[in-house]
Amino acid sequence: MTGPVLVVQHEDDCPPAWFGTWMTEAGATLDVRKPYAGQPLPDDLTGHSGLLVLGGAMNAIDEVVTPWLGQTKALVREAAAGEVALLGICLGHQVVADALGGTVEVNANGRQRGLLAVGWNAQVGEDPLVGTRPAQAAHWNGDVVTVAPAGAVVLANAPGGEIQALRFGSVAWGLQSHPEVDEQILASWAVDEPPSTAAEQRELEEFLAQVAAARASLAESWRPVATAFARLCRG
């Protein structure tokens, strides 16, 4: 299939960032839609070669507060049914899971915020998207997918046991982490979600420093994933 990749962006400070750069470098064209800013989503995926659903601070199942989620989920179901390449990142991962029949809930272990190891399991094999198995990724979320949709395959779990990666079909995935952002974007999120205690401030500063120190290795390990998704979108 030819055509641009449809990118659903939910907030100004949650752009495609690294993934957008890497996918463009791999030959993909991005059609970034910002429904929160009044940009409509298409009625269907006609003319698009893939669907990338990004992160955001909102709840993945609250379609009253975030009304465009209903249309996003319709596009997710269309992509999954038509085997159009599909990737959800963080909130996007939860949106995809909910759209396909999974369950999204507040993480019983509390908020995930840190540079965490990715616990790939044997199911990942030579997966066409994440078969290179990046070792770590930045996480910042309060909700997680607690029950995967029927037929989905869990590819990785966080140290606390939370689902980190799912394969929903032959060309559909979700990543709970934020492999697309660097420490500068993460720091901007702290403006909207500032630490409430000195301990949280220290934890945040340590997290940002760790991501900054790992910047090169994160880019090296996740660039192949973005490149692989761009290629999958081209079919």
Cα–Cα separations (whole angstroms), residue 24 to 18, 101, 173, 228:
10, 31, 19, 12
Distance, in Å, from the CA atom of 233 to the CA atom of 51, rounded to the nearest integer, reads 8
Distance, in Å, from the CA atom of 202 to the CA atom of 207, rounded to the nearest integer, reads 9
CATH number for 141: 3.40.50.880
> What is the pLDDT at residue 1?
54
Question: Has residue 95 been placed in a domain?
Answer: yes
Asked whether the beta carbons of 186 and 140 are under 8 A apart, the reply is: yes
Question: Has residue 198 been placed in a domain?
Answer: no
Question: Has residue 171 been placed in a domain?
Answer: yes
Question: Has residue 209 been placed in a domain?
Answer: no
> What is the pLDDT at residue 78?
98
**Per-block average pLDDT, block size 10, for the chain (235 residues)?**
91 97 97 98 97 97 96 98 97 98 97 96 97 98 97 97 96 98 95 88 95 97 98 90
- What string of DSSP letters covers 2-31? -SPEEEE--STT---HHHHHHHHHTT--EE
Question: Has residue 186 been placed in a domain?
Answer: no
Question: Has residue 127 been placed in a domain?
Answer: yes
Question: Has residue 91 been placed in a domain?
Answer: yes
The domain containing residue 69 runs over which residues?
5-181+217-234
> In what helix (H) or strand (E) does residue 156 lie, and over which residues does it extend?
strand 153-157
Phi, psi dihedrals of residue 220, rounded to the nearest 5°? -65, -35
Distance, in Å, from the CA atom of 90 to the CA atom of 222, rounded to the nearest integer, reads 15
Q: How many domains does the chain have?
A: 1
> What is the pLDDT at residue 52?
98
- Which amino acid, residue 222? W
pTM, 2 dp: 0.97
List the structure tokens of 223. 């660039």
> What is the pLDDT at residue 234?
86
Question: Has residue 196 been placed in a domain?
Answer: no
